Amino acid sequence: MRIFSLLLFTILLFSCTAAQKAASSGSAPAYSYTLNLNELENDQLNISLTLNGWNQPTATFCFPKIVPGIYGDMNFGQYASALEVMDEDGQQLATRKVDDNCWEISKAGKLRKITYLVDDAWEAFDFNLTEGFYRSAASSFSPESFVINTNCLFGYFQGFEDGPVQVSIAKPEGLYGATSLARDADKTTPARDVFTATDYRQLVDNPILYARPDTTMIQLPGIDVEVACHSTSGKSISAEVAQYIRPLLESQAGYLGGKLPVDKYSFLLYHNLNPEANAYIGDGLEHARSTLILLYMPLDMDAIRKTVYGIASHEFFHILMPLGLHSREIADYDFNNPKFSRHLWLYEGMTEYFTMHMPVKTGLQRMEDFLREVERKVAAMQDFDNTIPLTELSLNARERQDQYYNFYLKGALVNLCLDIRLRELSGGQYGVQDLVPDLIEKYGPNRPFEDEVLFDEIVGITGYPEIGIFFEKYIAGGESLPLQETLKKVGLELDLETEKITEEADRTEEQQKLRKYWIGQ
């Protein structure tokens, strides 16, 4: 059987209040975008932007060079052409292309309108892979379906990313636009969708899938989850996918205490039929309120369901981190000159640990299966350089993509050790399931923390100085994880040579109690 690895990349984009740049240079304008999907020609769409409230003498109009999570420059401006800028009298203004992504506009005081063409970035999702090119961050247009990553179609003015955005999309009859973007109900018609975003960051954080309706809703306490699919096979698949992942999402919501930071979430699934049996590839890009999933595989519903399940089990937890908890580097993300947070151990590592821990803690999974997953991560971690501190790797993830996947391995295991250590210090009463909500309560989606003080904040919240030493050694430092001694505390033996974990036959009462608090069994 030929199985291709599933590529999981996580976007760390959010809507935040009041950017400092715009505040220093004047109020941000209101962006009003229009496009017509009926007028697709040569894989290109005509985009029009009208500005309201612009009064700056100069302007730089840009597309993102990079979006968080892919850690590679994709230069989305390369897909834009025939850009023209007009003033309020309809007169064309001079522009100068600064680089692949930006145009400088002189005498921009009366700037009113910008038009341009946008080409799609890929034709078919298949095995044609290119290093550093992530199709889940790019767009594809066809009369039957439009995979729209908004960072490909819509630009922004540097320093003015915080203006409100409206996007009006004329659509072919019978196509439905699935997204977590807010719809303006008063302006939306059967032939036109009108979406709104509080700012450019929120716009970029919400992809759109246009296709024939194949949508199933999952209603959970406090949140509606949309499963929207398009299969080039012509088969409707959303109902089967939704039915399969529903128990997972219910258990995750329960694991999080039923208090979720969003009231709507979308899984957008594009399936390209592969006629070859047992050949699979997937690419997923997670957003704050949605996940875009691209699949190339046969019409094998069991494989499709399990693939989406595997992605959903990790990505849905991202509604906690980094949606509800993130640093200023993420909140004020610069799409053309980004600064990176040092805390991917939290955003990705903790999320992956929750993905492992939730099924066994809630009784969905046997202890034996959980331990096999820990073993797999211990073994796979050995293929990476584990002397690199996780904070350093996080700051340099763009340059060290060869090491990035270790956040799903070592990053998950360091949080396993942190969880048990917290349970030990608190007599079982406090673990990472408590720590993350406490951090979110203090900070929250619109109160980013300062990157360099998070460790001290956690020590202050927990009241355990020992946790500061843990961070210094195993996250900010490159010491080997204390997996063997940590697992010993809950009655588990890790053989470092074979990387196998076995249960001690005669666990002490102390080991058994700590294990019960940690894992629930």
The reply to whether 406 and 498 lie within a common domain is yes
One domain for residues 233 and 369: no
- Structural domain includes residue 434: yes
| Any domain includes 233 | yes
- Adjacency order of strands within the sheet including 140-141: 140-141, 146-148, 208-211, 176-178
CA 192/CA 183 separation, integer angstroms: 11
126 Rama class: left (phi>0) / alpha (psi -120 to 50) / beta: beta
Tell me: do 503 and 367 sit in the same domain.
Answer: yes
**Contact by Cβ (8 Å): 341, 407:** no
Q: Are 301 and 393 members of one domain?
A: no
Q: Considering the domain boundaries, does residue 103 fall inside one?
A: no
Q: What is the CATH number of the domain that holds 224?
A: 1.10.390.10
Claim to verify: residue 408 and residue 487 sit in the same structural domain: yes
Q: Which of 290, 319, 348 is the last residue of a domain?
A: 319
Q: Are residues 280 and 243 located together in one domain of the fold? A: yes
Contacts of 113 (CB under 8 A, 6+ apart): 48, 49, 50, 51, 85, 86
Question: Consecutive sets of 10 residues in the chain, 521 residues long: mean pLDDT of each?
Answer: 34 33 58 98 97 92 88 92 95 95 93 97 89 89 97 96 97 96 95 97 95 96 94 97 94 84 92 91 88 95 93 88 82 86 94 95 93 97 97 92 94 98 97 93 87 95 97 97 97 96 94 95 79
Q: Which residues contact 372 (CB under 8 A, 6 or more apart)?
A: none
Predicted confidence at residue 521, as pLDDT, reads 79
231 plus 263 within the same structural domain: yes
Same domain, 415 and 312: no
Give domain status of residue 185, yes or no.
Answer: no
Q: Is residue 182 part of a domain?
A: no
Same domain, 407 and 477: yes
Choose one of 289, 319, 349: the last residue of a domain: 319
pLDDT the model gives residue 12: 34
pLDDT at residue 240 in the model: 97
The predicted pLDDT at position 322 comes to 78
Domain that holds residue 483: 340-519
Kindly write down the DSSP assignment for every residue of 105-152, as one continuous string: ESSGGGEEEEEEEEE-S-S--SS---TT--GGGS-EE-SS-EEE-HHH
pLDDT of residue 70: 77
Question: For residue 218, what pLDDT is reported?
Answer: 95
Long-range contacts of 148-151 (CB under 8 A, 24+ apart): 148/207, 148/208, 148/209, 148/210, 149/207, 149/285, 149/292, 150/203, 150/204, 150/206, 150/207, 150/208, 151/63, 151/64, 151/67, 151/76, 151/204, 151/335
329 domain-assigned: no
Q: How many domains does the chain have?
A: 2
Mark whether 487 and 416 lie in a shared domain: yes
- Copy the structure tokens of residue 357: 């821990």
Which of 287, 319, 351 represents a domain boundary (last residue)?
Answer: 319
- Same domain, yes or no: 228 and 293: yes
237 in the same domain as 366:
no
130 found inside a domain: no
pLDDT for res 129: 81
pTM over 0.75: yes
Q: Answer yes or no: is 293 within a domain.
A: yes
The C-alpha atoms of residue 267 and residue 241 are separated, in whole angstroms, by 10
